[in-house]
Structure formats: C-alpha cells, structure tokens
C-alpha cells in the first residue's frame, strides 16, 4: 500500500510538470519561428533574462508588495473570523450581513483603489485596506459555512454534559470548520498579492505594481512578463505556506492519510 501511495504522489507531480514544460516549449517555438513579434510577446528565454537583469530592483519592490499582502491578509483573516463568529452566534447578524458581504464582492477593486488612495494617501494604509477587502470574504464564507455544518445533535449532547458555548465552539465547531477555513485561506492568499499589486497600480512609490506600471509605459514587455512571473511565484509561495500551516494545525488529517495508505 505504501508503494502505491508513492506512485500516486509521483504521478501527481509528473502531469503538471509536463504540462508546464509543454506550454513553455510551445511559447518559445512561437516566438523563435516569428509567428508573433518579440516586442509583443517576448520568449521565455527573454523573460528569464529580464528577470535576472532586474533581480535586485525586483527584490526591493517585492519586499514592499509582500509586506502589504501579509499585513492585509492577517487583518483580513482576523476580520473574517470575527464576522463569521458573530454571524454564527446571532441569527440576526447573519441575515443582516450576509447580503452586504456578498454585495461587497461585486464592486471591482480597481474602482475602490482610487478612492482609498484619495482618502488615505499613497503610503501603506490604502494598500493594506484593499487587501483586507479582497481577503476577508473567502474567510468569512468558509468559516460561517463550516460552523453551521456541525450536527446539532453534537451541540445538544455537549450541552447535556454541561459544556459552555465556548467549549462547544472550541471542541466542535472550530475543528469542523478547519478544513473549509484553510481552503478559504488559500484563496485569500492569492487575492492578497493581487490586491496589493492592483492598489500599487493606482498610486504608490514602490512595489511590484509600481514597477509594472513603469515598464508597461516604456513598452518593456519582457520585464512585464518577468514581474508577472514573480507575482505568480509569490502567490504560490503563500499558498505553500498555508498548506504547511494546515499540516501543523490539522495533524489528524495526515494520520488518516497514513492509515488509508
């Protein structure tokens, strides 16, 4: 059984790796054969060269973007957790906030960002606020749904054993919502980087969004693709950290997988 599990893990990595290699090879072939002008679509080789050439500058901008994304994500998680707890505890709060939270996600972030910049300036605050607005929704929805997924009989049983509301929440509702919480957190992690970049597009002095705006105006599309590659890498890094945190916080999942293997 262990060997079968190892083969499964191996095949899980092979398929996406081959897909990425195939896409890059096709992209390089299209550029090398002249189907698309290089000034419109730089080849993967040119993108890597631009990434290496501007590595120091990109690293400085990336630090700013990561700072905005991480602070905003932490605050977004805190806000989403608090709202979800209130929605679960009070039915009136659920009915009042549920439509408002949904409507808040229909407003384009590019429409909110200029207002935040106008109100709070070009420093860190408007970027963090935009990240909070884009990340709290998946957390709130995931946790609220997870809290309500608990079997009511479990709560009734714990109450007959004189368990308090805090104990019911800690030992029944929170573990039940953990899996959905981390699923929402992975989504929010990707939103955090994108939200920070979008905020930087519309006002700022540094960050990957500012760098992207500058190279776009100079028609340096190889550098544009380089920063897109870096943004994707940062998003994947945050998602990987979330997965690692999930393993630490939910050790029973790994135990179950080992038993099944």
pLDDT score for 259 = 67
pLDDT score for 227 = 92
Q: Are residues 31 and 84 in the same domain?
A: no
What's the DSSP call for residue 35? S
pTM: 0.83
| Token output for 162 | 């004189």
Kindly indicate the confidence band of residue 1, based on its pLDDT and cuts at 50, 70 and 90. Answer: very low
Q: Are residues 105 and 218 in the same domain?
A: yes
Q: Are residues 93 and 165 in the same domain?
A: yes
Residue 27's domain comprises 1-36
| Token output for 220 | 């340096």
CB 124 within 8 Å of CB 61: no
CATH number at residue 146: 1.10.3720.10
Complete DSSP assignment for 36-90: S-TTTS--HHHHHHHHHHTHHHHHHHHHHHHHHHHHHHHHHHHHHHHHHHHHHH-
Residue 44 has pLDDT above 80, yes or no: yes
Q: Are residues 24 and 87 in the same domain?
A: no
Residue 254 has pLDDT above 70, yes or no: no
| Token output for 211 | 């760098």
Residue 4 has pLDDT above 80, yes or no: no
Q: Are residues 154 and 220 in the same domain?
A: yes
Q: Are residues 188 and 223 in the same domain?
A: yes
pLDDT > 90 in the chain, percent: 23
Stretch among 9-18, 122-131, 141-150, 159-168 having the lowest mean pLDDT: 9-18
| Beta-carbon contacts of residue 93 (< 8 Å; ≥ 6 apart) | 86, 87
Residue, of 46 and 156, whose pLDDT is higher: 46
Kindly indicate the confidence band of residue 193, based on its pLDDT and cuts at 50, 70 and 90. Answer: very high
Total structural domains within the chain: 2
């Amino acid at each position: 059984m262990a060997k079968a599990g190892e083969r499964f893990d191996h095949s899980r990595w092979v398929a996406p790796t081959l897909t990425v290699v195939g896409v890059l090879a096709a992209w390089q072939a299209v550029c090398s054969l002249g189907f698309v002008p290089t000034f419109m679509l730089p080849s993967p080789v040119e993108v890597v060269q631009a990434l290496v050439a501007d590595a120091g500058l990109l690293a400085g901008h990336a630090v700013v973007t990561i700072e905005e994304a991480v602070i905003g994500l932490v605050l977004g998680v805190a806000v989403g957790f608090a709202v979800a707890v209130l929605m679960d505890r009070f039915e009136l709060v659920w009915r009042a906030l549920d439509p408002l939270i949904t409507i808040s996600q229909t407003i384009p972030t590019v429409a909110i960002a200029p207002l935040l910049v106008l109100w709070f300036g070009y420093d860190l605050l408007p970027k963090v606020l935009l990240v909070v607005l884009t990340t709290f929704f998946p957390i709130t929805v995931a946790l609220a749904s997870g809290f309500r997924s608990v079997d009511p009989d479990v709560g009734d049983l714990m109450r007959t054993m004189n368990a308090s509301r805090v104990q019911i929440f800690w030992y029944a509702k929170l573990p039940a919502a953990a899996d959905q919480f981390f699923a929402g957190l992975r989504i929010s992690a990707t939103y955090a980087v994108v939200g920070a970049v979008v905020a930087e597009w519309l006002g700022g002095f540094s960050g990957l969004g500012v760098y992207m705006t500058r190279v776009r105006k100079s028609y340096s599309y190889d550098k544009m693709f380089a920063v897109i590659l870096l943004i994707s890498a940062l998003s994947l890094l945050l998602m990987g950290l979330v997965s690692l945190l999930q393993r630490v916080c939910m050790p029973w999942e790994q135990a179950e997988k080992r038993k099944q293997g």
